[in-house]
Amino acid sequence: MPRILLLVASLLLGACAARTPVPQAAPALAFALPLTLQIQREQADVRQDWLLVIQQEGPALRWSLLDPLGIPLARQLLEAGEWRGDGLLPPNTEARELFAALLFALARADALQGYPTGSWHQDGANQRRLSPDWNIHYQAPLDFTLGKTGLNYRIRALTLEESD
């Protein structure tokens, strides 16, 4: 029995350690808010399209993930380095990890020092890496891919013409 408890405790600690880091204070972003992004998620040859709206709410950042019909999939607030649910939606761990990776991808290069030491790496102007295993490849400032093993997201800004 003690071995089982030790195994469960190790798995729980490992799951916590593998979370995508966020800085204590939201980093300066390279873009003005609110920001609307089109997200194409691809995993195992299955593609999904989503919309993400990022808004400033006082000291917090509100992240609202929607399907193409406008139905909310996830809503989170990031304040003082902590995520909390926003509204009545159930917890969505994948969305929270995506939001944390996107925060890093959207941060200005001079604001990355707010992330834990050793958790990220800048590979030239067009590529960044973030622990535990996120890779970002920029085609343009608001046109990039974000991925990790077996999971890829294509991110691009949604223009006013596209949202009408």
9-67 pLDDT, tens per residue?
444 444 444 689 999 888 999 999 999 999 999 999 999 999 999 999 999 999 999 99
Q: Which domain holds residue 96?
A: 2-163
Number of domains in the chain: 1
Instruction: For residue range 51-67, list pLDDT tens digits in order.
Output: 999 999 999 999 999 99
Nearest CA among 76, 26, 31, 30 for reference residue 52: 76
CA distances from 163 to 73, 143, 158 (A): 19, 17, 7
The per-residue pLDDT for range 88-137, each reduced to its tens digit, is 999 899 999 999 999 999 999 999 999 999 999 999 889 999 999 999 99
Evaluated on CA atoms 140, 128, 55, 41, the torsion sign reads: positive
Cα→Cα distances 65→3, 38, 85, 100, 143, Å: 40, 10, 12, 13, 18
pLDDT the model gives residue 74? 97
The H or E element that residue 10 is part of is helix 2-17
CB of 117 closer than 8 Å to CB of 106: no
Confidence (pTM):
0.85
